[in-house]
Structure 1
């Protein structure tokens, strides 16, 4: 992997998560505590986030976290994350179903 691949992969992950709008810039800035110019560069693939910015983006974005894990050859960790997200979603759905069914009786 080279720097260009990294930058483009992170840009693609952010766009998948946030779209390509001005809102995406604002959200990226907020998540990472970065400047507007920095967030624009990430979304354009001109620069990739490093250090603390990358950690903060991974904390808030499943797409960025999965992309970084895949880039470093840890695809099995991506699968574990996906299973955890699916489990959480299933628990929420079952809880909602229980509440609806309880309200009907």
Structure 2
């Protein structure tokens, strides 16, 4: 699980110091704690995990896959496509 969450965070945020600061802001966790998550040596738990899922589609997807519910990722992706299409339609109307 630690590796899944680490990969998800790195895919979403990258490996920079800014990524650490962003995850700290999302969760209220310390810098050391977030660095452990990014290094896959510890797993976020409780409120930290919920906060990460709230802010990161990548982490949510990793949790769904780990729970054997990867099929639900499709509905998340479809919703994202829907939002992008609505944004595009709004831009076209303004043009």
* TM-score interval, normalised by the smaller of the two chains: over 0.9
The answer to whether structure 1 residue 62 and structure 2 residue 57 are counterparts is yes
Output the CA distance in 1 between the equivalents of 2:40 and 2:19.
Answer: 14
CA drift of 1:97 comes to 1.1
State the Cα RMSD in Å.
0.6
**TM-score after normalising by structure 1:** 0.88
Long gaps (5+) in structure 2:
none
**TM-score after normalising by structure 2:** 0.97
Long gaps (5+) in structure 1:
1-5, 101-105
Bigger Rg, structure 1 or 2:
1
Which of 73, 79, 84 aligns to 1:78? It is 73
Q: What residue is the counterpart of 1:37 in the other structure? A: 32
Q: What residue is the counterpart of 2:7 in the other structure? A: 12
Deviating runs (4+, > 3 A) in structure 1? none
